[in-house]
Amino acid sequence: METLTQLHKRAIKEKWAMPHFNFSSLEQLEGIIDALRETKSPALVGTSEGERDAMGLKQVVALVESFRKEGIVVFLNADHSHSVDAAKKAVEAGYDSIHIDLSKKSFKENVEGTREVVKYSKKINSKVEVEGELGYLVTDSSKIYKEKIKIPEESYTKVDEAVEFVKETGVDRFAPAIGNLHGIAANKPVVHFKLVQELRKSLPDDLTLVLHGGSGINDEDIKRLVSMGVNNIHFSTELRVAYTEALREELKEKPEETAPYKYLDDPRKATVEIVKQKIALFGSAGRV
Ligand SMILES: [Zn+2]
């Protein structure tokens, strides 16, 4: 099986993007895996700190590993680790990939913490990929905002800082703030394409450029970002919404049903559908 890094490099060359889907239940993960099996797409699946606390670090690692043994090309990411300590625990538990997100700290603290995670992770497993983040997203993935969200100018990633950050930390993947946000807002995010273009031009050719907060960005913008060399895209909120709406519907329709595996089947199927739609946008189908 190709390593995560080999796949990301191929994605840059072939102009597609590696999907990243978050999960916090077995049925969500099964839905994602079913879609990968059907479309022959690789993917990263991720758990935030809250998601991995809920499911258990070792348990999540074992689950993903079990699907990989069946031939599914899937890797596990410790999404948005907000401390060096949380990142180290995930790599020790066997995660394939670490996202260290110190973007709310000062530039200096972000560089130092991220560099420490890169060094520590590669020592434990040389194949582990590490992602760093610079510039910050103003919102939360668990929310559907009724109001419009304005993105403050100072939260955008600055190109010169990005170049220095990548050089100083040695990260494999870089997540910038380019107008994207977590969750879904009343207004559509305005993607700063020129900034994406400058970042892609200024950063190393083989560096993976990551888009967080894919939910809420329109399909045409996602396709354009992929064509510009954004080769890793995160979706969480839309998957959560599809799952939860299907679950509410099912419970309403069958108030007598008490077997979880029965009423969780529709939410799983809803997950398969939304994941397949995203895979079609990323061009990642048939790549493995
Ligand atoms: Zn994110």
What is the C-alpha to C-alpha distance for residues 3 and 18, in angstroms, rounded to an integer? 13
**Looking at residue 246, what DSSP letter applies?**
H
**Looking at residue 153, what DSSP letter applies?**
G
The pLDDT of residue 95 is 98
Distance 256 CA to ligand 1 centre (A): 37
- Comparing 110-119, 210-219, 222-231, 256-265, which segment has the lowest mean pLDDT? 210-219
The pLDDT of residue 183 is 85
The pLDDT of residue 6 is 98
Task: Give me 97's structure tokens.
Answer: 């990939």
The contacts of residue 126 (CB under 8 Å, 6+ apart) are none
The span from the first CA to the last CA of the chain, in angstroms, equals: 9
* Residues across the chain: 288
Is 101 labelled as part of a ligand binding site? yes
pLDDT (tens digit per residue) in 52-108: 999 999 999 999 999 999 999 999 999 999 999 999 999 999 999 999 999 999 999
Claim: this prediction has a pTM higher than 0.85: yes
Kindly list the catalytic residues.
79
The pLDDT of residue 231 is 97
Bridge partners of 99, per DSSP, are 131
Domain spans of the chain? 4-282
The contacts of residue 89 (CB under 8 Å, 6+ apart) are 57
**For residue 58, how many other CB atoms are within 10 A of its CB?**
12
Q: What's the CATH number of domain 4-282, 3.90.1150.10, 3.40.50.720, 3.20.20.70, 3.40.50.300?
A: 3.20.20.70
Tell me the helix, strand and coil percentages in the chain, rounded to 5: 50, 15, 35
H or E, element range at 175: strand 173-176
Distance 255 CA to ligand 1 centre (A): 35
Distance 120 CA to ligand 1 centre (A): 22
The pLDDT of residue 186 is 86
pLDDT for residue 190 is more than 90: no
The contacts of residue 113 (CB under 8 Å, 6+ apart) are 83, 84, 100, 102, 105
Contact predicate 75/88, CB 8 Å: no
Per-residue exposure over 154-181, b if at least 16 CB sit within 10 Å of its own CB, e if not: eebbbeeebeebbebbebbbbbbbbbbb
pLDDT for residue 136 is more than 80: no
Is 206 labelled as part of a ligand binding site? no
Q: What is the dihedral of CA 264, 265, 269, 271, to 10 degrees?
A: 20
pLDDT for residue 237 is more than 90: yes
Is 182 labelled as part of a ligand binding site? yes
